[in-house]
Every structure is written in C-alpha cells, then in structure tokens.
Amino acid sequence: MVAKITQGFWAKTARIILRNRILIILLIIAFTVFLGFQWKNMKFSSSEANLLPDHHPVNVKYQSFLKLFGEEGNVIAIAAKDSTLYTPEKFNRWNKLSKQLDAFPEVDFVLSTDNLKELVKSEDGQKFLLQNFIKSKPRTKAEIDSLKQHLFENMPFYENLLYNKETGTIRTLVYLDKDIVNTSVRKDFILKDFLHLTDRFEEETKMNLHISGMPYIRTMNSKNIIDEINKFILAALGVTSLIFFFFFRSFRATFISMCVVIIGVMWAFGILGLLQYEITVLTALIPPLIIVIGIPNCIFLINKYQQEVKKHGNKALSLQRVISKIGNATLMTNITTASGFATFIITDSQLLKEFGIVASINIIGIFILSLLIIPIVYSFLPMPKDKHLKHLNTKWIDTFVSWMENIVRNKRISVYIVSVLLLTISIIGIYQIKISGSPIEDMPKKAEFFKDIRFFEKEYNGIMPVEIVIDSKRKNGVLKPATLKRMDKLGEVIDEIPELSKPISIVNLVKYSKQAFYNGIPKYYQLPTTQENNFIMDVVRNSKGEGNLLKSFVDSTGQTAHITTFMRDVDTERMQDIESELQENLDKIFPKERYNTFLTGKALLFLKGTKYLVNNLVLSLALAIALIALFMAYLFRSFRMIVISLIPNLLPLIITAGVMGFVGVPIKPSTILVFSIAFGISVDDTIHFLAKYRQELVVNKWAIKKSVYAALRETGVSMFYTSIVLFFGFSVFIISNFGGTVALGALVSATLLFAMLANLILLPSLLLSLERSIANKQVLKKPQIDILPKDEVKIKKKNQINNQN
C-alpha cells in the first residue's frame, strides 16, 4: 500500500514540476535572492571555539576565573631577537612602537622598555613607588648597554616576562581592552592598525619581529579560514566539473550541473546568515561539501535522462521518468547522507551542533535544487545528440565492471580472506591511535604566525595559559606568609616541569617588594621572613594608584589569587601527565580544609573539550549507524539484510581508523568527523545496489546469482562515477593549510574509495554466499517503499519474454 502511494506521489510530483516550469524557476530565483540578502548577517568567529557545553564543570570553573580576574587571553607579544636592537636608533624606534600602540583606544596598556617601571621604596619608607626605568631618552650605545645590564641583572621580576636573559630576546606586551577581545573590533584593529605599525617598524629598521599571543593567533587563524573558503569552492568546482566532463563529454551537462551546485553554495551562505551562525573552521567546509555531494545527484539524474532518451527517444517521457524513478532513490540517499551530518546536532558542542544543522539542511536543499532544475532546464533544450550518449557505452568502464564481476564470481574466498586480514590489521592499528588535545596542531604550519608560536615556545616556554586559582577562604588570606610560602612551593614545582614557563603570581610581586625595600639589591628578590612580612605587606597595601599592582594577581577582597604559567604545545598524554602532577601537588600543598583550589586556562579547556567531543562523536556515530539501520529495516524489512548491508559500510570505517593509527593521525575534532560523514555517504551505494538487486530478484523469479550479477552490472557504473567524484571532490581539502582539514579530506576520500570497493565486491559476495539464508520471499519481504518503480520491472519482464520468443 505504501509503495503504491509512493509511486503515485512521484508520478504526480513529475507532472507538477514539468507543468509549472516557469513558476518553479521564478520561485527558485526569488528564494535565492532572499537568501542572498541574508549574506549580510554572516559573521566570522571572533572567539575561540569552546567545545564544552556551558554547564560542564570545567567550563563553570573557567567562567568563575574570568569573573574574578577577567579575560586571560588579551595579550599580544612582540619580540625581537637581534643584537642591533641595542643601538640608539633602533632601541628608540622600538620604544616609539610601544608609544604608538598605547595610543589606540583598543589597547588597555602596553608593557615595554619604554614605559617599564621599577619598584622603589619611598624616602620615608612607608610605601613603594614605581619610577621610570628609562629616565631620559638614551643617546649612546653605552647608555643602552647600561640599561640592558640593569634590566637583565637587577630586575628579576621581569625575567621571562619581558626578557630572556640567556638569549637576549626582549619583548613588548600589548594588553588589549578586555571588552573587545572576543569581538570583530579586535580583528579590525590587528589586521589594519597593529600590522601596519609592525610592518612599518620592520621596514624602517630591517629587523624581524616575532608576534604571538592568543588575540593575534586567533585573528590570523580566522583570516586563513576566510581565505580558504574561496580556494575550496573554486577547487571543488574545478575538480568536480573536470571529472563530470570526463565522464559525460558534454559541456551542456557540465554547465547545468555547475549552475545547480553554485546555487546550492549561495543557499548555504544564505542559511548561515539566516540562522546568524558564525563561520568557523567547520562551517567553512559546508559550501565545498555541497558541491561535492551535489554533483552525484546531477550524475544520477542526467545519466538516467540520457539512458531513457537512448531507449525510446521521447523527451517528455524521459524527463517524467527521471523524476519519478530517480527522485525517490536520490531522496533516500540524500536523507541517509543528511542523517550522517544531522547526528552532530545531538552533541552538546555548539560548534558541532551548528555544523550539523546547516550541513543537513543544505544537503536536502541541493537535492531539491537538482531534482527541480535539471529536468526543467532539459525540457527547454533540444534532445541530446548521439555524441552526448557515447559515454553510456564506454569500454573501459565495462572492463572495470567485468573485473569486479569476475572477482565476485570466482574469487569470493579471496575476498573474505583479504577482508578478514584488513579487519585484523586495522584493529591492531586502532590501538595505536592517540587523542590530540593540542589547540594549535591543526593550524597552518607554513604560516608566519605559526612559526612565531614555535619561536615563543623556545624563548619563553609556551603561549597557552594555564591558570591555578587559590581561594584562601578568608579576606586577605592570600597575603598571609603561610599562603605565600605554599604558593612559592608550588611555583618551584612548576619551575621543574620543562614544558611550563616560570609562574607569575602575587609571590613575584612580594619578592620584588622585598628587593625594593632593600634598595633593589637582586639577592633580596625572595619572600620576606615572618618578621619582615607584616611591614612589607603593609607598605604594599599602602601603594595605591600606579603602585597598586595587587589587582593583577589578587581579587578585590584579597581572598583569592591566581598563578599563571604558559604551556608548550605537547602531546595529549604529556598534557594529562602535567595536569595530574600539578593537581597532585596542589592537593598536597594546599589542604582542602583550608583552601579551595582548581586548575583552568585555555590549554586545559581545549584538552577537556577535545576529550568530551570525542565521547560525544562516538555516540553520534553510533546514532548514525542506528538511524541508517532503522532506515534499511523500513526499506527492506529484513534483519539479515540490515546486517549484510552494514558490513561493507563499517569495514571501511575500521580500515580508515587503522590507517590513522599506523600513520600517526590522532583523533581530534577534525578527524573524528570523518566517520559520521563517510558512513552517511557510503551507505548510499548500498541502498542503490540492494534496491536494484531486489528488483532483479523479482524479474528473474528469485534466481539469486543472475540477480546479483545483473545488479552489479547496472549499478556498478553509476556507483563508480559518483565514488570517483566524491573521492576527488573531498581530496580538494588536501590543499588546505590546516592540518585537520587536510586529514579530513584525505581520510574521507580514502574511506569512500574503500566503501565503493566493499559495496561492489564484498556486498555481492556476501549475497551470493548467504543466498539460502537471505534471498527468499520470506526474508526479503515486500519493502515499504519501492525505491525503483514497478514499470522498470515490467519492462524487464517483457524484454525477457521477447528475447525468449
């Protein structure tokens, strides 16, 4: 009953489309224009992707830290490692650069040699004052050498903050206004004003500056994402159009298909604007994905149209059959593909949720566009000529299909042995896979800003902040000698971890205060004794205005302090070891009955986010498999057929995971997407093959072998066409500068290639080997929906009768 309703629906749909061609084209144009107006609402991500949901405990801790101490990632560092800097002309030009930057309203303040302050004791000894490090503009190299020596030898407070004593590297720290750090104002300031000044400095001094810091890295990374969108779209259009033309040898068919996917891309941007989602490293992939996924729809529809024209030469009947016959099958395959993306919606990650929503909507959108535009456009065009139909008889494709048929017919045992071997080896490889929680691993390695990240790691031991929050549970508790000593002890632990930079906290300020109290003698850069503490801390508290440095390290009540250190880019296992070591010492040094403590910061936030995401995406993949299994059950109403259909689609995923383990590609937000995407797409081939197989069973009166080989010959060509388009289409992501996008493209391409071979070789082999169990009318019951309509079955039967006569 459902099958009859379905056939009637598609026949009616075909009539509606072909009778209302002009109206439909006008509606498509109007909707495209409407979505075009939504482009103005598109915005590029100004903040880092937070992979954790708001209610996650790790996120809650991080937000409480921000509430107490403000945005941590608001510093841009400019470093110079050049001996010529310490000459009057260049040194004064360096100081001028900091003055120029400090003049911008987007900048909160600048810490540099130009405005560096030295902590000194007032004449009455009752408070500390900040006096200028540079009292007058230096005129000679001797003056500059004296300043350098004084900074490097007598001001340990600034070591590893402003200078590296061993290498002579010096830097300027630009603190942005915290209110603009996560807005587009930051991006505009950095790309226009900031880079203009630093470029001019390099041009005038012939020195090379190194720039880093989270605001700068995020801005340059976002710029790379924006630049790559156009590159991906052009590459995807170029590759798919070339392959399409190679198969069809028709400029007309190629042009029509390109128009369809270009409109699909316009819709994708429009929907992003309509929903007001930010363009991130993931949503930037959607336009080229629409091109890659949309072209197979065009192949199926145009191929079917040309087959019908060749069969009977009636254009109107051919177009009607294209919609009624291919429309249902294409809808089913697009739904399975959209389901693979839609499973991301169930994750708590906003980043993935938005990606899943936009991708799944646009996959259905490109299906509707191809189903409407291709038949309508062809209805206005003359009949295809013989040269346009030559590809239907391409010999090398027949050779490929014959090769597969020979393997299925004569080498099934070899197929199973190879499959089991690949499965076994892949499982071994899966155990080699590591999880990556590095926030910079996917960044473009050749980009200048990435090279600068490595420079700062070498010179200052990292750029990713790790924060340790210590709540003393009482007002002014962090200023007590016992707490300061505990913080100093933890600082020593941090110092011994090579991947972490020297810690910065209230302890540094108190040590500097004691040094200032003893007239700046460097050996007194240490914590005060119990006797000294009360007096020195009173002096610190009295040092208001410029001298009130406490606010940088302690909250307004003096109850809570934080220790800041920076972590190098390390592998996830080492990062977890560091976290465990810090947490263990934190619990040991600060008793829980007296202190509340926790670890936070961007580095740990990203690590926890990645692990959380991996768990969520494993669930989403399981859901995708379950959804598609239910879908197959609805189509074929056979549990055994579900199992058999899943095997050739799960095996490629396992093989790809094994390859990742052996090659050393870690599990991370970008690569975990591979499995849901590839599974949703590869199952399309299974649906096409099994639908054709069941049809052949009816035609051939349940002659299993004959039906399998007939289905293989008829579906093999179109499956090969679409798989090659998808393979090369996803391969365009390999040109990306982002490691994650490269891995995504290569892995999805490889998985789809494995899936094509599995569906064309392993699936038919299983059907033949298990024919007694599955290929009978009791197991293969009448499906709820006839994917391929009955008239094809009738035509086949009629042709067979004629051939017998």
pLDDT digits (tens, 9 = 90+) for 520-530: 888 888 888 87
191 burial level (CB within 10 Å; 0-12, 13-18, 19+):
middle
Query: Alpha-carbon distance 404 to 762, whole Å?
Result: 10
316 burial level (CB within 10 Å; 0-12, 13-18, 19+):
exposed
CA neighbor of 64 nearest in space, from 530, 467, 452 = 467
Instruction: Report the half-sphere exposure of 358 (CA within 13 A, side-chain side).
Output: 32
Angle at 71 between CA 129 and CA 60, to 5 degrees: 130
At residue 795, the pLDDT reads: 47
- Of residues 445 and 49, more confidence is placed in 445
Query: Alpha-carbon distance 115 to 134, whole Å?
Result: 7
Q: Which residues contact 351 (CB under 8 A, 6 or more apart)?
A: 49, 50, 51, 280, 282, 669
Q: How far is CA 529 from CA 525, 560, 707, in A?
A: 12, 22, 91
Q: Report DSSP state, residue 562.
A: E
The architecture (CATH level 2) of 2-47+220-431+606-804 comes to: Up-down Bundle (1.20)
Query: Alpha-carbon distance 452 to 458, whole Å?
Result: 10
Query: Alpha-carbon distance 508 to 657, whole Å?
Result: 48
Average pLDDT over residues 770-798: 52
Phi, psi of 600 (to 5 degrees): -155, -165
Which range, 611-615, 639-643, 678-682, 750-754, is most confident? Answer: 750-754
- Of residues 138 and 396, more confidence is placed in 138
At residue 541, the pLDDT reads: 59
Bridge partner residues of 129 (DSSP): 120
pLDDT digits (tens, 9 = 90+) for 342-352: 877 877 777 77
Residue 558 zone, left/alpha/beta (φ > 0; ψ -120 to 50; rest): left
546 burial level (CB within 10 Å; 0-12, 13-18, 19+):
exposed
Query: Do residues 115 and 179 touch, judged by C-beta distance below 8 A?
Result: no
Query: Do residues 595 and 471 touch, judged by C-beta distance below 8 A?
Result: yes
Q: Which residues contact 207 (CB under 8 A, 6 or more apart)?
A: 80, 82, 84, 85, 90, 201
Sequence letter at residue 685: D
Which of 378-392, 436-450, 604-618 shows the lowest per-residue confidence on average (mean pLDDT)? 378-392
**pLDDT of residue 789 exceeding 90:** no
At residue 364, the pLDDT reads: 92
At residue 663, the pLDDT reads: 87
At residue 166, the pLDDT reads: 85
At residue 270, the pLDDT reads: 92
Q: What is the overall mean pLDDT for the chain?
A: 81
- Of residues 218 and 546, more confidence is placed in 218
Query: Alpha-carbon distance 547 to 129, whole Å?
Result: 6
Average pLDDT over residues 68-80: 81
At residue 389, the pLDDT reads: 62
Q: Where are the beta strands (DSSP E) in 456-551?
A: 464-471
Query: Do residues 370 and 294 touch, judged by C-beta distance below 8 A?
Result: yes
Residue 189 zone, left/alpha/beta (φ > 0; ψ -120 to 50; rest): alpha
At residue 540, the pLDDT reads: 61
pTM of the model: 0.74
pLDDT digits (tens, 9 = 90+) for 228-250: 777 888 888 888 888 888 777 77
Measured in whole angstroms, the distance separating CA 443 from the mean position of its chain's CA atoms is: 10
Which range, 75-84, 378-387, 782-791, is most confident? Answer: 75-84
At residue 490, the pLDDT reads: 92
At residue 460, the pLDDT reads: 83
Q: Can you give 14-82 as a three-state secondary structure string?
A: HHHHHHCHHHHHHHHHHHHHHHHHHHHHCEECCCCCCCCCCCCHHHHHHHHHHHHHCCCCCEEEEEECC
Task: Return the domain boundaries, the chain.
Answer: 2-47+220-431+606-804
What are the contacts of 688-693 at 24+ separation with CB within 8 A? 688/329, 688/333, 688/715, 688/718, 688/719, 689/715, 689/719, 689/759, 689/760, 689/763, 689/764, 690/632, 690/635, 690/636, 690/641, 690/645, 690/763, 691/329, 691/635, 691/787, 691/788, 692/788, 693/767
Average pLDDT over residues 243-269: 86
Q: Which residues contact 327 (CB under 8 A, 6 or more apart)?
A: 10, 13, 14, 371
Q: How far is CA 422 from CA 622, 660, 680, in A?
A: 22, 14, 22
34 confidence band (pLDDT: 50, 70, 90): very high
At residue 532, the pLDDT reads: 74
Average pLDDT over residues 263-290: 86
683 confidence band (pLDDT: 50, 70, 90): confident
388 confidence band (pLDDT: 50, 70, 90): low
CA neighbor of 30 nearest in space, from 263, 367, 363, 297 = 263
> What are the start-end ranges of the H helices in 545-601?
572-589
Average pLDDT over residues 16-39: 91
Average pLDDT over residues 749-766: 87
- Of residues 601 and 640, more confidence is placed in 601
- The pair of three-digit structure tokens given for residue 308, joined into one six-digit string: 């019908």
User: Pairing state of beta strands 75-80 and 170-176?
Assistant: antiparallel
Dihedral Cα 706, 709, 715, 719, nearest 10 deg: 160
**pLDDT of residue 268 exceeding 50:** yes
pLDDT digits (tens, 9 = 90+) for 501-545: 888 888 888 888 888 888 888 888 888 887 777 666 666 655 544
At residue 793, the pLDDT reads: 46
**pLDDT of residue 794 exceeding 60:** no
Rounded to 10°, the helix 395-410/704-731 angle is 120
Query: Alpha-carbon distance 307 to 303, whole Å?
Result: 6
